[in-house]
Amino acid sequence: MDTEPQLLSVQHFCVHDGPGLRSVVFFKGCPLRCSWCQNPESWSKDAELGYKATACLRCDTCVSTCPTGAMQAPGHWISDACTRCFRCVETCPGGALTQFGIKRPVENLLAELSQEFALYRQSQGGVTFSGGEATLYPTYLTELLIPLNQAGIHTALETCGVFHLQAVRPWEQLLTSTVAWEAFSAQRLWQMLCRLDLILFDLKLMNNLQHQQHCGSGNRRLLENFSLLTQLAQAGRAPGVWPRLPLIPGITDHPDNLQALAEFLHQSGVSVLTLLPYHNMGVDKFSWLQRPVKYAHPMLSEEALHTATQILQSNGIQCYTSGEENYAHLYAADAQIAL
């Protein structure tokens, strides 16, 4: 049994995270540490305290309220001494302190999502699981997916691709038509993945060392996962897999990376890609969490986006901006799958 997840938020009426109008559920916990990450509050699996100096009234209520003495001064707490009781958040009159992460029973979350079912159906939208990395919680997700599947709600996953797919043995047999999905029902990850309609799979750097340097771990596992899932999808035995590339100035937009990515996508039978241009709106969150900023750059310029698009398209990759994808054409015409 995997641990019960901490949820960061649920956002409704989203248009960039799969087809139609969607609700996006953000999970806490991520195996990567990308230097340009806009959601550092999603890194830890645990609930966390955040402090926004611009909203602080300097009233010292947090210091006097803290039962452990962890809060030494406004915005300065000793992490090891903090029990995450969040009493300081409850009593902060300025709204400067925030609790990142809350546990919600599946029924409680489902009740909120079900209020939007009519909207999902009308817009051909649905629910997207994002993060952080939602695959850390296959048991919770499966419990959520079962009623969503029964209600005919489209479901999607946004993933960094780092999960233990290869632990499902013998996974090669999944490619043969003679093996039933049910044979793998004991495998929690598969049980969850097979209930999804779409996987939005982030790819970043094709060079393993660069991936290690900028994302905190190598890319071998996630590339293997992408290849396997796309093979399975094209055989009609897994959800469709749509790749996305965060376009980070000076890092992922380097022509060598774009060309290597195009080649990899072709090898996987995929010729589409969503580009996610870097924005720097999440930089302040690092200070809210008492963490140093690793990467602070201006937003990606229109020119850099245009150049990257040209390189990819000249290498046979159809580029999309998020929210404008044509999900009906995931794979080559002779290997399309129904979504």
**3-class secondary structure per residue, 23-78:** EEEEECCCCCCCCCCCCHHHCCCCCEEEECHHHCCCCCHHHHHCCCCCEEECCEEC
DSSP assignment letter at 3? P
Q: How far is the CB of 33 from ligand SF4 (least distance, A)?
A: 23
Q: How far is the CB of 104 from ligand SF4 (least distance, A)?
A: 19
Pairing of β 48-51 and β 97-100: antiparallel
Angle at 69 between CA 68 and CA 72, to 5 degrees: 150
From CA 241, how far away is CA 193, in angstroms rounded? Answer: 11
Q: What string of DSSP letters covers 244-295?
A: EEEE-TTTTT-HHHHHHHHHHHHHTTB-EEEEEE---TTTHHHHHTT---S-
Q: How far is the CB of 56 from ligand SF4 (least distance, A)?
A: 3
Q: How far is the CB of 317 from ligand SF4 (least distance, A)?
A: 47
| Nearer Cβ to ligand SF4 (94/147) | 94
| Nearer Cβ to ligand SF4 (75/277) | 75
From residue 287, alpha-carbon distances to 12, 50, 85, 317 in Å are: 27, 9, 21, 38
From CA 315, how far away is CA 272, in angstroms rounded? Answer: 11
| Nearer Cβ to ligand SF4 (92/261) | 92
From CA 320, how far away is CA 311, in angstroms rounded? Answer: 14
- Can you name the residues that pair with 270 across neighbouring β-strands? 331
The residue whose two tokens read 């709204």 is: 95
| Nearer Cβ to ligand SF4 (171/286) | 286
198-219 in b/e form (b: 16+ CB < 10 A) is bbbbbbbbbeeebbeebbbebb
- Can you name the residues that pair with 25 across neighbouring β-strands? 10, 129
Q: How far is the CB of 51 from ligand SF4 (least distance, A)?
A: 6
Contact residues toward ligand SF4 (CB under 6 A) are 49, 56-62, 65-66, 68, 70-71, 74, 77, 82-88, 92-94, 96-97
Q: How far is the CB of 27 from ligand SF4 (least distance, A)?
A: 21
| Nearer Cβ to ligand SF4 (60/112) | 60
Nearest Cα to Cα of residue 242 among 331, 170, 151: 331
| Nearer Cβ to ligand SF4 (87/121) | 87
| Nearer Cβ to ligand SF4 (59/260) | 59
Helix (H, G, I), strand (E, B) or coil at 235: coil
| Nearer Cβ to ligand SF4 (57/183) | 57
Q: How far is the CB of 116 from ligand SF4 (least distance, A)?
A: 32
From CA 197, how far away is CA 50, in angstroms rounded? Answer: 35
| Nearer Cβ to ligand SF4 (84/297) | 84
Q: How far is the CB of 283 from ligand SF4 (least distance, A)?
A: 21
Q: How far is the CB of 105 from ligand SF4 (least distance, A)?
A: 23
Q: Side chain identity at 144, as an amino acid letter?
A: L
